[in-house]
Structure 1
Amino acid sequence: MLEAFVGEGDLRFAAADRPECRSGHAACISLGGQPLGWLGQASTDLCAAFDLERQVHIFEISFTALVRHWHGRERSFTALPKFPPIERDLAIVVRADTATAELIATMRDSALHLVESIEVFDLYQGDQIETGHKSVAFAIRLRDHEQTLQDAQADAAISAMLKRLKARFGARLR
């Protein structure tokens, strides 16, 4: 939701340790290279203090930083796309400590001009995945703004992403 509000290009997430969050389940957020806030899964102690029976996610966003980011920016209009997107799902297996934000950044860099959006729709660790690894599944939307994107072009973009993920993170297709 935050990405839709501020634009994906300027927003970055980086793993962080927060005392109010479960270890390994928090991230700092920056906008245009400046700190914006943080988010994460609430720690067990924090949930217990508020008698919460389920794990919850918490966040803090600086409204001042948002205003500072937008102040003086030129407003622009983006026309609706003339050409249809192609959507692909990609599920990979990587080490459990691999940051999902880094995976997404690598995927974007691999096919930058065609990537419209990348969203995580599944994260799995369990019986079918070796210990110390996780499966991450992405919904990827590709679009060429100059012409109708062909299946072969979309396949090449996904292949480029997978090749780069394999080289950088040792990822494998699930």
Structure 2
Amino acid sequence: MNRPYQQPGQGSREQRRAARRAAEKRSAATASEPPKAVPQQSAEAFCLMWYACECGHRERIWNSRDGVTPFGMSCPSCGEAKLFHVNFGRDTYAPDHVPRNGQRIWISMSKDRARQIARRTAERIAAARKVKIDDAMVERIATEIYRDGAAPDIVVWGYVEAE
């Protein structure tokens, strides 16, 4: 069975040549500079990674942090939890990547964001079990989500909440 969502994308010949020339220019410009030593704990640190879904949706998500990322998540196109990290060999180390507006990126979890997620989780638990939500429950859940800032969170670069 052909699964196009698992096939690496091929650009046009002109695109590949332009990308190669740009990479050569960058390497020539930085040849006189000493290499930067960046201690990394994770192989996924600062990488551009391909995620794909069975519905055909593909996107490249940047990991802006030195930490692991989830293997799968909900697809923004079909809503199913079938968007998976694919083509690990095509992950590109890009510590100086500047995301374009609308690109999703992995960032480190903040305490406030962990509390928002914990509040929603507590509300679902309370509705299912018909129990009351208390602040201690929300804080316990938030602590598990936050994990001292090591947990990943995904955001859309350039997105601003409307007021």
TM category, shorter: under 0.3
- Structure 1 or 2: larger helix share? 2
State which structure, 1 or 2, has the greater radius of gyration over its C-alpha atoms.
Answer: 2
TM-score (norm 1): 0.26
Bigger fraction of residues in strand: 1
